Structure 1
Amino acid sequence: MKKPLSIAVKRMLRRGMAALCAFACVFAVSACGADDADGRIRIGIKFDQPGLGFKKNGTYVGFDVDVAKYIARKLGYSEDQIVWKEAPSKQREAMLQNGDVDFIVATYSITDERKRVVSFAGPYFVAGQDLLVRKDEKGIDGPEDLNGKRLCSVTGSTSAVTVKEKFANEVQLMEQPGYAECATALFSGIVDAVTTDDIILAGLASASRGRLRVVGKPFTQEYYGVGIKKGNTKLARNINNAISEMIKDGSWKRAIADNTKGVDYTPDAKYNPPKPKEGEK
């Protein structure tokens, strides 16, 4: 006849089982990823960039959104399995590192500094930093006219960094949390121009109904990548294949045209469409 277990032993067993269960849960989540946990995929986009990533009456529209939907479909997810997460510029790296999203499509320029903490797939688009001005502006025809001007860009963006590096002694830079705030400052005359990537400015100009215009003299190249967790080469390869298919079947070109209607904008043919090879090694 077996002796009954002592209360102390029972407690030890319960604690051991609890610890084992906790370990199993952590292992399962880390092994499967956030998307496998409930059959959905979490994608970071901008919510405040007309023409790219914009939240409108509970729906999400823009070129980045179209790219993200295409990638998700090729990864095996329907549109109703996508959970959209807002990804402000200064929070993108943390969102990927913390596992808040599976990937980010949010005008996310590939830079060596960012690649130290996250990885990228792509690029899916090559933009160029440009200037957005009021329709009747006569004194700004390019970056050579910025001396003494007031510019607005977004905190944490590569555009703001470029202004500080190239025009620090020439311009007054106002940094805002989003481009909608910059556009408002431009409308009200607080700043003379908004500076960021040309396709972002084209979206803002389209939304302004003719009140704003893009100068059309880009002075950088910005390679937009799909942000993913550091070292995930398999996901990078799958995303790159999806981008290549989007370019090949014409969906890429249609998405740009659909999201820049009413604006005289054409991507720089010297760099577009790009060849997505980032992150595979």
Structure 2
Amino acid sequence: MKLRKVTAASAAVLALALSATACGGDDKDASGGSGSSGGEKIKIGIKYDQPGIGLKEPDGSFSGFDVDVATYVAKQLGYDADQIEFVETKSADRENALARGDVKFIVASYSINDERKQKVDFAGPYLLAHQDLLVKADADIAKGADLNGKNLCSVTGSTSAQNVKDKIAPKANLREYSGYSECVAGLQSGAVDALTTDDSILAGFAAQDKYKGQFKLVGEKLSNENYGIGVKKGDTATVDKINTALEKMVSDGSWEKAVDANFGPANYENEPAPKIGVVVK
């Protein structure tokens, strides 16, 4: 049953819908309630602090690739943009937010892995990212090994920088900062020589107006990060609906437009849209 707005002028349609439900129809929308009917909202978890991915702007609006994906999916599930309530879901609280029912689904640079799949279900993946390095545009760093003897930004609680030391630059000097924004500022000032995390996140920072042309991605692919949409464990109906929406987003060109809009200024060489249900190891 296609979701649609219901007003007083459509009482006959409402009566027909209720009759169909009474006869055994059990199709549910993504909110677990009446969806766009009556103007109800759907709560979606995103990041608030990742430019190009999920960012809360000073005026209270939201931007980023994950925001565009979430908005598109919600529309396919019957919700207008003004019926979406974006909720900040930090990395450490994503599984709990779904279990508590704080949000219906999460689009927040949420990499699919076996450990997380024990706690939540995933739709997608909708983006394949890789761990990479961000350096100044004029830096003489062409590969990870060039970081030996140089300063590499490490965000507190992140394992990305240690991964660089373990795999490609054992003599890199780790400099710990509280967040990626601080790392980017350190990179700009010369306090550090490189920052490492997912290339999509790095591209998002580099694409900001205040940083355009200042940074470049090195092109190291130190890991495969399959971004999925997290859904409460066992809610297979919502997973199926989201997957259908993602397939349409790719086929009608909206996915590519969202990639270009959010990452294009950083010359991000993104992977093609992944196939739904196929996780690249």
After alignment, is 63-72 or 202-211 more displaced?
202-211
For 1:258, the equivalent position in structure 2 comes to: 261
Q: 1:131 to 1:274 in 2, by over 3 A?
A: same
Partners of 1:275 and 1:206 lie apart in 2 by: 26
Partners of 2:226 and 2:252 lie apart in 1 by: 21
For 1:246, the equivalent position in structure 2 comes to: 249
For 2:50, the equivalent position in structure 1 comes to: 49
Letter in 2 for 1:240: N
Contact 2:127–2:273 (CA<8 Å) still a contact in 1?
yes
TM-score for both structures, normalised by structure 2: 0.77
Q: 1:81 to 1:242 in 2, by over 3 A?
A: same
Contact 1:153–1:196 (CA<8 Å) still a contact in 2?
no
Alignment map for 1:1-281 (pairs within 5 Å): 36=33, 39-56=40-57, 57-138=59-140, 140-155=141-156, 159=160, 162-163=163-164, 166=167, 169-174=170-175, 176=177, 178-207=179-208, 208-268=211-271, 272-277=272-277
After alignment, is 180-189 or 248-257 more displaced?
180-189
- Secondary structure (helix, strand or coil) at the match of 1:42 reads strand
Partners of 2:259 and 2:48 lie apart in 1 by: 18
- Secondary structure (helix, strand or coil) at the match of 1:261 reads helix
For 1:12, the equivalent position in structure 2 comes to: none
After alignment, is 115-124 or 242-251 more displaced?
115-124
- Secondary structure (helix, strand or coil) at the match of 2:127 reads strand
Sequence identity (%): 51
- Secondary structure (helix, strand or coil) at the match of 1:43 reads strand
- Secondary structure (helix, strand or coil) at the match of 1:225 reads strand
Partners of 2:233 and 2:169 lie apart in 1 by: 33
TM-score for both structures, normalised by structure 1: 0.77
Partners of 2:220 and 2:169 lie apart in 1 by: 19
Partners of 1:155 and 1:120 lie apart in 2 by: 27
Contact 2:183–2:195 (CA<8 Å) still a contact in 1?
yes
Letter in 1 for 2:135: V
Letter in 1 for 2:216: R
For 1:19, the equivalent position in structure 2 comes to: none
| CA deviation string 1:129-184 (max 9, x = no partner) | 1100122221x212222333332354566745744764695434455554222212
Q: 1:214 to 1:168 in 2, by over 3 A?
A: closer
> Deviation of residue 188 (structure 1)?
2.9
Contact 1:62–1:259 (CA<8 Å) still a contact in 2?
yes
Partners of 2:130 and 2:190 lie apart in 1 by: 25
Gaps of 5+ in 2: 1-27
Q: 1:190 to 1:114 in 2, by over 3 A?
A: farther
- Secondary structure (helix, strand or coil) at the match of 1:210 reads coil
Partners of 2:101 and 2:60 lie apart in 1 by: 24
Contact 1:89–1:157 (CA<8 Å) still a contact in 2?
no
Give 4+ residue runs of structure 1 displaced > 6 Å after superposition. Answer: 31-34
Contact 1:142–1:215 (CA<8 Å) still a contact in 2?
yes
> Deviation of residue 69 (structure 1)?
0.4
Contact 1:132–1:201 (CA<8 Å) still a contact in 2?
yes
Q: 1:238 to 1:188 in 2, by over 3 A?
A: same
Contact 1:42–1:100 (CA<8 Å) still a contact in 2?
yes
> Deviation of residue 32 (structure 1)?
9.7
> Deviation of residue 264 (structure 1)?
1.8
Q: 1:172 to 1:233 in 2, by over 3 A?
A: farther
| CA deviation string 1:29-83 (max 9, x = no partner) | xx99966388211111111211111111211111111100011111111111111
- Secondary structure (helix, strand or coil) at the match of 2:78 reads coil
- Secondary structure (helix, strand or coil) at the match of 1:107 reads coil
Contact 1:39–1:81 (CA<8 Å) still a contact in 2?
yes
Q: How many residues align?
A: 245
Partners of 1:131 and 1:203 lie apart in 2 by: 13
